[in-house]
Amino acid sequence: FGQGERFPVLDLGGVKIGVSICEDIWYAAGPPQVQALAGAEVLVNLSASPFHAGKRRYREQMLATRAGDTGAYVVFCNLVGGQDELVFDGNSLVLDTDGQVVARGASMAEDVFCVDLRPDEVLRDRLLDPRIRKARLMRQDPALSPELVLEPVADLHAGALDPLPERVEPTPLDGSAEIWA
């Protein structure tokens, strides 16, 4: 599987949802940010984030930052179990638009849980947050998203470069020269 080029926002019963995969959410300017600017109220991240000491706290802080930056709910669904030498700890989370944990899945065990979300509050919170308004305006500024035009370069290098010299084979050294070289 390879890198995608689109960041779709799905409409499920009037709720706009952005779905991302694993590391997409770890970067401030990643796909979830783009999806939030496109109107996603809930950001769902399907992840296989391996366990190591201290990762649960670090991951929770990162997700809280992402929720606060985007003004969206963040639903983090993490794999649980082992694969090869990796251990996946579960610890799935749901965070509100302020980055507060509203639900947490089991650690080191499969778990299913339900959470009531209020997507209508997302719009209200975003209207009060100047960062999101500014990011949307910047995204619409044509100066910040120039159109790139690629010209054909078929004969750009024709005759412009000298051919590479022939490869010179090294002369083997005799035993004593090889020791002191």
**Residue pair 44/24 in contact by the 8 Å Cβ criterion:** no
Enumerate the domain spans of the chain. 9-144
Interval 42-96: pLDDT, tens: 999 999 999 999 999 999 999 999 999 999 999 999 999 998 899 999 999 999 9
Q: What is the pLDDT at residue 6?
A: 84
Q: What is the pLDDT at residue 127?
A: 82
69: tokens are: 């930056």
100: tokens are: 């507060």
Interval 99-134: pLDDT, tens: 999 999 999 999 999 999 999 889 888 888 777 767
- Per the document, the length of the chain is 181
Strand-strand pairing, 42-47 and 73-78: parallel
Give the C-alpha distances (Å, rounded to integers) separating 150 from 3, 4, 154: 22, 21, 12
Pick the CATH number of 9-144 from 3.40.1500.10, 3.60.110.10, 3.40.50.150, 3.40.605.10: 3.60.110.10
pTM of the model: 0.73
- DSSP track, 88-113: EEB--EEE-TTS-EEEEPPBSS----
